[in-house]
Amino acid sequence: MVAIPPDKTDEPVKTFNAFTLDLHDMAKWLVSHGITTVAMESTSVYWVSVYEILEEYGLEAVLPNARDTCSVPGRRTNVNAAQ
């Protein structure tokens, strides 16, 4: 799940699969909407490929401390987490 500011597109939350081609599509989508920095969760080792592909496209990838993001109030869903 990837979310960008709603003023940049009619579809601010989008789902991408985890295949390499899909990760490239995700990076292209972000760049096409003027995104320069991405904050992402680091889950197991799955984040490494995403991080590397984002960097290939000139995006700055930031990995916040998971302890800080887990304490956000409210019911947590993938869409909410992405937003």
- Per-residue model confidence as pLDDT tens digits over 10-61: 999 999 998 999 999 999 999 999 999 999 887 778 889 999 999 999 999 9
Q: pTM, whole model, 2 decimals?
A: 0.80
3-state SS class at 68: helix
Quote the pLDDT of residue 62.
93
Quote the pLDDT of residue 57.
98
In this structure, what token pair is assigned to residue 52? 């590397």
Q: Is the pLDDT score of 80 beyond 70?
A: no
Tell me the mean pLDDT in the region 54-73: 80
Query: Are the C-beta atoms of 40 and 62 separated by less than 8 Å?
Result: yes
Beta pairing, strands 37-39 & 60-62? parallel
Beta pairing, strands 13-14 & 37-39? unpaired
